[in-house]
Amino acid sequence: MESALAAVVFDLDDTLAVTDRHRQRLLDDATARVGTADVDRAVYLDTHGAVEATETRAPIFERLVADEAAAAVAAAYREAVGEALRPVPGAAELVRRLRDSYRVGLLTDGPLAAQRDKLDRLGWTTLFDTVVITGELPAGKPDSGAFERVCADLNVDPARAAYVGDRPEVDIAGAAAAGLRPVQVTYPDGPSPHPAAAATVERAEIAERLPDVLASV
């Protein structure tokens, strides 16, 4: 018999918080502010996955724009994303409610400065029992070590933790491989559910429906 769920771990971007403009537009805004060449979003994501960026996105942009502009573009992009960031309706209340029954953590990919800035802007710096930003780890998601780290911080076996995220290969397959119970967040024009997902929940309904979903995984 499967052990009772003891912890819930969330992804941040496109799961609990979204931008009110497409990320390509935000990249365009950042490069325009600095006056450097445009950066394609798909190329940015590929580079993000291949480059070690611990504190800021500057190492990523060093491969995409002139070296002397990289730090300025990274700062401009962080500001553009922060200005456009919005919480999913009811997200904070959902986390607070879940903490009555579970230990609740956040595992988010990205450099420390970028992800801390998001949490500061959202007012979520103390919302979770623990926050793990992969910029401080040897590898980010889907590496099992990232999931194991947040479970260790929560003092829970991965088999008794659920991971709630939106990216099929990174969040869902990664969590499943690490032994967690993956719940995939879906949304219009988003990726299809991954076969490894233990359950799915529409992002627009996450605040209302996730507690019942967690009771079934």
Task: Output the pLDDT for position 50.
Answer: 82
Q: Which residue has the higher pLDDT, 2 or 15?
A: 15
Tens of pLDDT along 5-55? 999 999 999 999 999 999 999 999 999 999 998 999 999 988 987 888 889
Residue 188 backbone phi and psi in degrees, to 5: -55, 135
Average pLDDT, rounded, for the chain: 95
Q: Average pLDDT in the 159-181 region?
A: 98
- Mean pLDDT across the stretch 55-71? 92
Per-residue pLDDT, averaged over 134-139, amounts to 90
> How far is Cα 179 from Cα 195, in angstroms, rounded to an integer?
15
Average pLDDT of the residues in 203-208: 98
How many angstroms separate the CA atoms of 183 and 19, rounded? 22
Confidence of residue 181 (pLDDT cuts 50, 70, 90): very high
For residue range 95-124, list pLDDT tens digits in order. 999 999 999 999 999 999 999 999 999 999
- Domain ranges for the chain: 7-16+88-216, 23-84
- H helices of the chain, where? 23-34, 41-50, 58-61, 70-84, 91-98, 112-122, 144-154, 173-177, 206-216
Domain spanning 7-16+88-216: CATH 3.40.50.1000: yes
pLDDT value of residue 67: 83
